[in-house]
Amino acid sequence: MWIYEKKLQYPVRVNKCDPRMAKYLIEQYGGADGELAAALRYLNQRYTLPEKVIGLVNDIGTEELSHLEMIATMVYKLTKDATAEQMKEAGLGAHYASHDKALFFNDASGNPFSATYFTAKGDPIADLYEDIAAEEKARATYQWLINMTDDTDLIDSLTFLREREIIHSQRFREAVEIIKEDQSTKKIF
């Protein structure tokens, strides 16, 4: 169960209308390594994980939903004052024709979101290594997004998200060690 707090996890500010940057940010909204895929991956995997790490994975999955909300806010703020011509020039003409400025779960290339972006193997170690890889890919993507903008306010929010991906990767690594230690413990019945 969730309790929704009506504020973003971290403030999102942008300096200017920039639909080109919004197009790139959409990758983290509906792309294979984006926030939706991460949230669904973790919230799905928790059902087959050992009890000792379920809370950790559930917490991170929930936090990923807040990151999705931050990305949506960034995209909205970057496009809210854009003209149809600016959307077209930024490579968002097809998106604008289908959705106006509404968000749609797709990647930066316009490919729709797919459940094939995430997996649950049912093996805790395999799933957690998948999660570590997902966090590292998201971290790299955030760095590349930071490299593509000169908007200092946007960089601040993207830096926050990049740092959270690092923390999540570390926490998943801790969960692997917890499971490995538990598996190596002698069990006497």
- Tens digit of pLDDT for each residue in 142-154? 999 999 999 999 9
Residue spans per domain, the chain? 19-180
Could you read off the pLDDT of 24-78 as tens digits, one per residue? 999 999 999 999 999 999 999 999 999 999 999 999 999 999 999 999 999 999 9
pLDDT at 1 over 90: no
Question: Catalytic annotation on 135?
Answer: yes
Model pLDDT, residue 15? 95
Model pLDDT, residue 187? 65
Kindly state which CATH superfamily the domain 19-180 is placed in: Ferritin, core subunit, four-helix bundle (1.20.1260.10)
Token pair 């930066």: residue: 108
Question: Catalytic annotation on 67?
Answer: yes
pLDDT at 189 over 80: no
Tell whether 35 is in a known binding site: yes
Model pLDDT, residue 186? 67
Overall residue count recorded for the chain in this entry:
189
Given the residues 35, 63, 95, 130, select the one marked as catalytic. Answer: 35
Tell whether 64 is in a known binding site: yes
When the pLDDT of each residue in the chain is averaged and rounded to a whole number, the result is 94
Output the pTM of the full model. 0.93
Given the residues 27, 63, 64, 130, select the one marked as catalytic. Answer: 64
Question: Catalytic annotation on 99?
Answer: no
Given the residues 63, 67, 95, 130, select the one marked as catalytic. Answer: 67
Question: Catalytic annotation on 35?
Answer: yes
Confidence of residue 99 (pLDDT cuts 50, 70, 90): very high
pLDDT at 163 over 70: yes
Given the residues 135, 163, 174, 177, select the one marked as catalytic. Answer: 135
Tell whether 135 is in a known binding site: yes
For the chain, what percent of residues have pLDDT higher than 70? 97
Considering only residues 122 and 1, tell me which one the structure prediction assigns the higher pLDDT.
Answer: 122
Question: Catalytic annotation on 168?
Answer: yes
Tell whether 27 is in a known binding site: no
